[in-house]
């Protein structure tokens, strides 16, 4: 305890803060990457005028409250309030659109990754670039604003993502990490920068529109992991710590997207490694040895925090509907006089799903709160359906929702593993879905037909990954790669649990997936006919 207290006082710690879809979380680690304290703030996006958004006020409140709660945790555990860190990093859900004027004022509501109002722009840019541009990418949002002749574009000085925006508030630097940048605009892994040919193509495309800026004028500068991305300013320190005790001048790591922090949190940054992050959105990432044979609209091409190309199957919808059903069962338990905490409730329901039929007894769920690019839907309607003769049990009901939380992402993974025959040595799972041991991990193993490992830090996920990226900036030796740093200094002695795929589970999940894919028309009809 004395050693930890001295390390905190001396700033021999690294802090990562990640803005997730439903939770902002901070994780403080020591020089070995061990978690010393955490703090969080729950929040929810709002649907305003057809746009999924969070306000600037919510962003700032969440940042301050999360940080304050972390510091209070440190004070309770170690008797001190932290006043400095060795390094600090910000991460957030990738993609989306934040547009600022020259004075840093927001020109339009923040559009999150969840918005799918960019079909026209995404289609046009995919054709122009011959490279898949998903609807949620920042460049798709920017170009859609141009196609819609948005008035605010004449005043644009900076277009960026949430983590880059928060980093800008704390440092004054208009930068982002290469992994996050790969969800803004296509990246050239050789130059570790935006693809210049595509930049030129975009500038030519908009030349006739008369804007005073070109693309590189307004996008954040790209940095790789290990590069310093500025220092915490005096204004930034006051913004982060309302108590006024935080010192300025702390080195800042490049801000990163949640895909990149997920790769770090699972030691999946080298070719032939992969991971699945399962939460509000669910995405699977496989680090490539070679380019894909063709462009797939279902597959994003992004990068690791050091610039390796990554093929990503990204599902906008993950556990939101599953969580809603668990909450409903929690209300029933309380009504029946048996209230229980969320952790026990999730564990009880998840473990019971193991008693269900391998194919979920014919039950089918689509947890689509929003549009889903993999299945080509621009809106969602959460739905559960069954046949009259389906085996409608609680175990099958929960199993169907757990399968469905991986359903869309499995369709993308099937392209990579079955059509592209990508080689993967290991798959790691992380995120809230894996907190109940041996359940979602078993189902994922069935989905990918391969062993799935979950680390002891799986529940910490991306925020811990961002703290490790800050630690890498702080502790790396000259010329030391991120791959070496993670493999030898962070994960060398870390325990993990591995689940092998079960043949019956594989057969059952394949049957469920065929049912899931063949009946997408149900969801399409619901979108067309079920109106507010």
Q: Worst-scoring range by mean pLDDT, 174-178, 186-190, 370-374, 389-393? A: 370-374
Number of domains in the chain: 3
The 10s digit of each residue's pLDDT in 306-315 is 999 999 998 9
- Cα 406 to Cα 509: distance, rounded to the nearest angstrom: 10
Q: Worst-scoring range by mean pLDDT, 186-200, 391-405, 419-433? A: 419-433
Q: How many CB atoms lie within 10 A of CB 49?
A: 6
Does the residue 415 lie in any domain?
A: no
- Cα 363 to Cα 389: distance, rounded to the nearest angstrom: 10
Same domain? For 426 and 478 the reply is yes
Which of 491, 456, 495 minimizes the C-alpha distance to 33?
Answer: 491
Does the residue 292 lie in any domain?
A: yes
Residue percentage of the chain with pLDDT more than 90: 84
Does the residue 410 lie in any domain?
A: no
Residue 1: what pLDDT? 66
Question: What DSSP assignment string belongs to 193-226?
Answer: EE-HHHHHHHHHHHGGGT-S--HHHHSPEEE-TT
Same domain? For 245 and 391 the reply is no
Same domain? For 269 and 236 the reply is no
Does the residue 401 lie in any domain?
A: yes
Which of 530, 293, 517, 263 minimizes the C-alpha distance to 409?
Answer: 517
Does the residue 38 lie in any domain?
A: yes
Mean pLDDT, to the nearest integer, of 83-96? 96
Same domain? For 268 and 246 the reply is no
Residue 520: what pLDDT? 95
Residue 459: what pLDDT? 54
Burial category of 254 from C-beta neighbours within 10 Å (exposed 0-12, middle 13-18, buried 19 and up): buried
- Of 336 and 457, the structure prediction assigns the larger pLDDT to 336
The encoded tokens of residue 273 equal 């490694």
Residue-number span of the structural domain to which 515 is assigned: 320-405+504-529
* pLDDT over 60 (residue 281): yes
Same domain? For 305 and 374 the reply is no
Residue 458: what pLDDT? 53
CB 16 within 8 A of CB 65: no
Does the residue 101 lie in any domain?
A: yes
Question: What DSSP assignment string belongs to 73-135?
Answer: HHHHHHS------SEEEEEE----BEEE-TTS-B-SPPBPTT----HHHHHHHHHHHTS---T
Burial category of 76 from C-beta neighbours within 10 Å (exposed 0-12, middle 13-18, buried 19 and up): exposed
E-only strand ranges, 381-495? 383-385, 426-430, 452-455
CB 13 within 8 A of CB 29: yes
Same domain? For 226 and 375 the reply is no
Last residue of a domain, one of 254, 276, 304: 254
Same domain? For 176 and 110 the reply is yes
Assign 370 a pLDDT band (cuts: 50, 70, 90). confident
Residue ranges of alpha helices (H) inside 242-309 are 258-265
Does the residue 416 lie in any domain?
A: no
Burial category of 483 from C-beta neighbours within 10 Å (exposed 0-12, middle 13-18, buried 19 and up): middle
- Of 290 and 111, the structure prediction assigns the larger pLDDT to 111
Does the residue 412 lie in any domain?
A: no
CATH code for position 487: 3.30.420.40
Same domain? For 216 and 125 the reply is yes
- Cα 220 to Cα 211: distance, rounded to the nearest angstrom: 18
The encoded tokens of residue 383 equal 């739905």
Last residue of a domain, one of 239, 254, 269: 254
Same domain? For 30 and 130 the reply is yes
Same domain? For 286 and 359 the reply is no
The encoded tokens of residue 174 equal 């208009």
Region of residue 21 (phi > 0: left; psi between -120 and 50: alpha; otherwise: beta): alpha
Q: How many CB atoms lie within 10 A of CB 244?
A: 8
Same domain? For 375 and 232 the reply is no
Same domain? For 387 and 524 the reply is yes
């Amino acid at each position: 305890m004395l050693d930890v207290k001295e390390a905190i006082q001396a700033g021999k710690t690294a802090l990562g803060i990640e803005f997730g879809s439903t939770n902002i979380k901070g994780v403080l680690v020591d020089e070995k990457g061990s978690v010393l304290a955490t703090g969080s703030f729950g929040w929810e996006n709002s649907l305003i005028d057809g746009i999924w958004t969070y306000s600037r006020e919510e962003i700032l409140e969440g940042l301050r409250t999360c940080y304050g709660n972390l510091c209070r945790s440190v004070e309770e555990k170690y008797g001190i309030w932290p006043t400095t860190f060795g390094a600090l990093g910000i991460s957030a859900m990738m993609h989306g659109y934040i547009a600022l004027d020259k004075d840093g004022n927001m020109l339009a509501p923040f559009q999150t990754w969840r918005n799918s109002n960019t079909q026209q722009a995404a289609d046009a840019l995919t054709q122009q670039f011959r490279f898949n541009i998903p609807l949620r990418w920042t460049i798709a949002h920017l170009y859609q604003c141009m196609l819609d002749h948005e008035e605010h574009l004449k005043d644009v000085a900076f277009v960026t993502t949430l983590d880059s925006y928060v980093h800008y508030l704390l440092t004054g630097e208009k930068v982002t990490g290469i992994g996050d940048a790969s969800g803004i605009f296509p990246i050239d892994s050789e130059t570790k920068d935006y693809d210049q040919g595509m930049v030129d193509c975009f500038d030519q495309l908009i030349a006739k529109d008369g804007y005073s800026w070109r693309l590189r004028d307004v996008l954040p500068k790209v940095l790789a992991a290990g590069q310093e991305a500025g220092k915490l300013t005096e204004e930034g320190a006051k913004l982060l710590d309302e108590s006024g005790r935080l010192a300025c001048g702390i080195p800042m790591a490049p801000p990163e997207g949640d895909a990149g922090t997920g790769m770090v949190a699972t030691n999946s940054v080298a070719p032939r490694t992969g991971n699945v992050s399962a939460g509000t959105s669910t995405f699977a990432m496989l680090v490539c040895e070679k380019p894909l044979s063709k462009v797939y609209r279902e597959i994003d091409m992004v990068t690791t925090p050091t610039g390796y190309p990554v093929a990503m199957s990204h599902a906008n919808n993950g556990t939101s509907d599953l969580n809603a059903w668990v909450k409903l069962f929690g209300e029933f338990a309380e009504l029946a006089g048996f209230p229980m905490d969320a952790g026990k409730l999730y564990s009880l329901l998840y473990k019971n799903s193991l008693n269900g039929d391998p194919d979920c007894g014919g039950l089918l769920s689509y947890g689509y709160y929003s549009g889903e690019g993999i299945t080509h839907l621009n809106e969602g309607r959460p739905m559960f359906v069954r046949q009259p003769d389906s085996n409608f049990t609680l175990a099958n009901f929960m199993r169907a929702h757990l399968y469905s939380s991986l359903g869309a992402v499995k369709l993308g993974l099937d392209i990579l593993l079955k059509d592209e025959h990508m080689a993967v040595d290991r798959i790691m799972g992380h995120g809230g879905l894996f907190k109940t041991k041996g359940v979602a991990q078993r189902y994922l193993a069935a989905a990918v037909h391969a062993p799935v490992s979950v680390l002891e830090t799986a529940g910490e996920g991306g925020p811990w990954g961002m703290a490790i990226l800050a630690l890498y900036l702080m502790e790396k030796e000259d010329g030391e790669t991120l791959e070496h740093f993670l493999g030898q200094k962070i994960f060398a002695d870390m325990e993990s649990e591995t689940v092998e795929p079960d043949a019956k589970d594989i057969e059952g999940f394949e049957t469920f997936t065929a049912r899931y894919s063949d009946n997408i028309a149900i969801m399409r009809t619901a979108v067309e006919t079920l109106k507010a």
